[in-house]
Amino acid sequence: MHDSRAPQSLDPEVLRAALSEPERLGLYLSRGLGGAAEGGEGQPEFVRVAVLTTTPPAVLQTDRQAWRAAAAGLGVGASPRLAGIELVAPPAGSPWAQVAAETRAALLRVAVRSLLASAPEVAVFHITDEFGGGMLVRLQSGLALGEPRLDARLLEHVVFAALTYRLLVHSGEAVVVTPGDEATWSSRQVFAEHAAVWRRALVSAPSEGLAGLELADLSEALVWATATRRGRATVAAAPPALATAVAEAEAELRQRSTNLLRERAGGGN
């Protein structure tokens, strides 16, 4: 029997064409940050972000090229990836950790301008372990012990349910895309019939193939930096130039933010 949830290969041009239709809502979903992937002491938190925009992929690509040109002009490299967490809080050993904070702050401002130019709504899914009823702690424990991550699937379902509820107020059909690996373009049906989602599917695509996915990554890093305890502590300890750029970004994005767990726009996180 055919499993509609199993990944099916997808032609990249079919996806780009769907995203390019007039007034088509693109929903670029980040990978998710925190939870089992974020160890250490303290209550775990999880953030996942969707950038909703009707801006066509070609326009987003042009904006990405402009950001890369700005990065090259500041001596960062010829074609760096716009990785939000690398700008905000690069991990030890990352090449971005060697880039001056003032340079990263300048590039963060350019990236936020590109994000705002797409007239987005930034839909935020942010949970603490207290809200999740111990789910995130179980995820961490299961990962450490190599046990099946059933709570990871549950968390994914909750995210999709929240997105479905948000899209009920949208008159058209949204294309939902999330990052995949470097070569795979695929889709799998995860949304219910009443969801206004193209093919009822979550589409996986390489970030290099769709610039909107980098905007989702950027938005996720900014939400992590401003809404989670660990993120706020990291920014507070960062050089002033970077902390100021993050604060400016938070102020600019606040009115474009929707908390998917509060069901209202402009309410912050």
What are the CA-CA distances from residue 58 to residues 64, 80, 176, 177, 209 (Å)? Answer: 10, 19, 17, 16, 11
Does pLDDT of 142 surpass 70?
no
- Indicate if the pLDDT at residue 157 is higher than 90: no
Mean pLDDT for the stretch of residues 36-48: 63
Tell me the average pLDDT across 77-106: 87
Contact call for residues 198 and 173 (beta carbons, < 8 A)? yes
**30, 49 Cβ separation under 8 angstroms:** yes
* DSSP-derived secondary structure letter, 55: -
Q: Tell me: the pLDDT tens digits for 8-18?
A: 999 999 999 99
152 CB burial (10 A radius; 0-12, 13-18, 19+): middle
User: Nearest 5 degrees, angle CA 153-CA 43-CA 41?
Assistant: 115
pLDDT (average), residues 115-125: 94
User: So what's the pLDDT on residue 127?
Assistant: 81
Q: How confident is the model at residue 3 (pLDDT cuts 50, 70, 90)?
A: very low
Q: Rounded to whole angstroms, what are the CA distances from 122 to 43, 58, 159, 177, 222?
A: 25, 20, 14, 14, 11
pLDDT at 42 over 80: no
- Local structure of residue 146 (DSSP, 8 states): T
Do 14 and 193 contact (CB within 8 A), yes or no? no
- Whether the per-residue pLDDT at 241 is higher than 90: the answer is yes
pLDDT(93) > 90: no
Is residue 218 scored above 50 in pLDDT?
yes
Higher pLDDT, 209 or 3: 209
The two tokens of residue 10 are 């997808």
Confidence tier at 62 by pLDDT (50, 70, 90): very high
Look up residue 70 and give its two tokens. Answer: 């700005």
**174-179 and 197-205: which strand pairing?**
parallel
Mean pLDDT of 73-87: 83
Find the mean pLDDT for residues 16-45: 79
Helices (H) and strands (E) in the chain, counts: 9, 10
